[in-house]
């Protein structure tokens, strides 16, 4: 993760703007003086920089919850703040070179709002979850120009590697998203996807609730897939294969195709490694036979006016509230110059969303963006509104 190791932190007088980078406000952790968030805007994208004491070091880096997919934006923000605040930088892993020409002109990297506001209206869609090096994803997009491919990945170097190749190969049918695939599935219109690839997902043997394959993920896959469309799991983990098989066959009616050590058209670098190690490769392919109802999610994320004092908000720090089918955990509280901010995780137990909630006077808003409009998030929002104003 990009960061600066600094000798001493200096505060700028906010708001402050320089060379297209804006610093908007500070948020100070109410329980830990060594943590400050800096609201930052680069090219109309909002995120936080984080000042944190870590192992006797003072670090300025990006906040994990809000960091943009573009590492270049983070680099610009860190270097701009350091220069304008005259910070003494002791060490750094932030690049000072100019933007890569291929990343400069790429438009394939999208945020979740792009899909939530108006999902692309195309004849055919295919999705790859966790594309890694992107070898399989790029091959599919190049050889199927009439299909829109959406690659989902959270590993930043992998994202930038694929974005460069999109530019070099001049692919116009491939979009990239840095987001939780389990949440993304909930906003895809029904019966429009022909293929979903989940190749060599992280096994998460010690944290199975974090696995991509789950009952809810398969339910959403069956809804978004066309009749005859496929969900393809490919894994070298026998534990993951066995776990996933049990999840699949628990459905009352389902069509599966199971293979072992079958070659596919293009293999990833991980698969090549497993084959050299003579590891077994398992394929479970679900063939969808459901014609689902159109996606219809009603509701919004508006808040009632806040009518209490800030002490109530501060007392929520560390508190967990549960409702049927989900929860809200108030992880931390921050003081602002003119209000309070809460860091929360909310939604369903197996795929919560992490958000900041800002309260200024009577106004309550999510920051830096709204939650994904899913049924679980709308239920959580309704409950959150009740907790804050109850």
Kindly report, residue by residue over 188-198, the tens digit of the pLDDT.
999 999 999 99
pLDDT tens-digit map of 231-283: 999 999 999 999 999 999 999 999 999 999 998 888 877 788 878 888 899 99
Relative to beta strand 148-152, strand 125-129 is: parallel
Distance, CA of 289 to CA of 226 (rounded, Å): 8
Distance, CA of 242 to CA of 229 (rounded, Å): 23
Whole-model pTM: value is: 0.81
pLDDT at 266: 85
Mean pLDDT estimate for the chain: 91
Q: What share of the chain has pLDDT > 90, as a percent?
A: 70
- Which pLDDT band holds residue 116 (cuts at 50, 70, 90)? confident
- Which pLDDT band holds residue 115 (cuts at 50, 70, 90)? very high
Distance, CA of 340 to CA of 22 (rounded, Å): 21
Read off the pLDDT of each residue in 200-218 and give the average, rounded to a whole number.
90
pLDDT at 95: 72
Q: Is the pLDDT of residue 219 over 90?
A: yes
- Name the E strands within the chain: 3-6, 16-18, 21-29, 35-42, 45-54, 57-62, 89-92, 109-110, 125-129, 148-152, 174-177, 193-199, 225-235, 255-260, 282-287, 320-323, 326-336, 339-347, 353-360, 363-367
Contact of 335 with 359, CB cutoff 8 Å: no
pLDDT at 198: 97
- Which pLDDT band holds residue 100 (cuts at 50, 70, 90)? low
Distance, CA of 138 to CA of 162 (rounded, Å): 8
Read off the pLDDT of each residue in 214-220 and give the average, rounded to a whole number.
94
Q: Is the pLDDT of residue 97 over 60?
A: no
pLDDT at 261: 92
pLDDT at 18: 96
Read off the pLDDT of each residue in 163-179 and give the average, rounded to a whole number.
94
- Check whether the bond before 368 is cis (ω within 30° of 0): yes
Read off the pLDDT of each residue in 118-125 and give the average, rounded to a whole number.
93
- Assign residue 278 a region: left if phi > 0, alpha if psi is -120 to 50, beta otherwise? left
Distance, CA of 185 to CA of 217 (rounded, Å): 8
- Which pLDDT band holds residue 105 (cuts at 50, 70, 90)? low
Tokens of 379: 């239920």
Read off the pLDDT of each residue in 157-171 and give the average, rounded to a whole number.
92
Distance, CA of 37 to CA of 33 (rounded, Å): 11
pLDDT tens-digit map of 339-351: 999 999 998 887 8
pLDDT at 325: 83
Tokens of 290: 């459901």
What residues are paired with 125 via a beta bridge? 148, 193
Among 282, 302, 306, which Cα is nearest to 360's? 306
């Amino acid at each position: 993760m990009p960061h600066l190791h600094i000798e001493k932190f200096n505060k700028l007088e906010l708001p402050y703007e320089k060379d297209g980078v804006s610093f908007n406000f500070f948020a100070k952790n109410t329980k830990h003086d060594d943590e400050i968030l800096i609201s930052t805007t680069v090219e109309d994208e909002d995120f936080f920089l984080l000042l944190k004491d870590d192992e006797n070091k003072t670090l300025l880096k990006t906040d994990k919850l809000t960091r943009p997919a573009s590492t270049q934006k983070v680099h610009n923000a860190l270097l701009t703040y350091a220069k304008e605040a005259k910070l003494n930088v002791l060490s750094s892993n932030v690049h000072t070179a100019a933007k890569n020409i291929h990343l400069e002109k790429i438009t394939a990297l999208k945020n979740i709002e792009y899909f939530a506001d108006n999902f692309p209206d195309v004849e055919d869609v295919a999705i790859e979850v966790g594309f890694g090096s992107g070898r399989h994803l790029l091959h599919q997009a190049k050889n199927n120009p009439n299909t829109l491919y959406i690659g989902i990945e959270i590993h930043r170097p992998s994202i930038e590697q694929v974005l460069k190749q999109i530019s070099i190969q001049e692919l116009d049918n491939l979009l990239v998203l840095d987001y939780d695939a389990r949440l993304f599935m909930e906003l895809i219109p029904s019966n429009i996807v022909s293929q979903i690839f989940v190749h060599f997902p992280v096994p998460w043997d010690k944290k199975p609730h974090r696995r991509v394959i789950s009952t809810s993920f398969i339910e959403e896959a069956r809804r978004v897939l066309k009749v005859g469309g496929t969900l393809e799991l490919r894994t070298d983990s026998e534990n993951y294969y066995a776990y996933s098989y049990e999840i699949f066959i628990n459905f009352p009616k389902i069509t599966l195709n199971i293979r072992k050590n079958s070659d596919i058209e293009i293999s990833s670098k991980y698969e090549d490694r497993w084959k050299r190690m003579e590891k077994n490769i398992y394929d479970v392919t679900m063939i969808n036979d459901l014609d689902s109802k159109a996606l219809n999610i009603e509701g919004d994320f508006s808040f009632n006016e806040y009518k209490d004092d800030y002490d109530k908000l501060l007392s929520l720090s560390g508190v967990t509230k549960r409702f049927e089918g989900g929860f809200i955990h108030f992880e931390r509280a921050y003081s602002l110059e003119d209000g309070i901010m809460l860091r929360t995780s909310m939604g369903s137990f197996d795929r919560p969303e992490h958000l900041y909630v800002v309260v200024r006077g009577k106004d309550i808003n999510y920051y830096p963006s709204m939650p994904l409009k899913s049924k679980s998030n709308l239920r959580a929002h309704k409950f959150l509104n009740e907790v804050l104003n109850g």
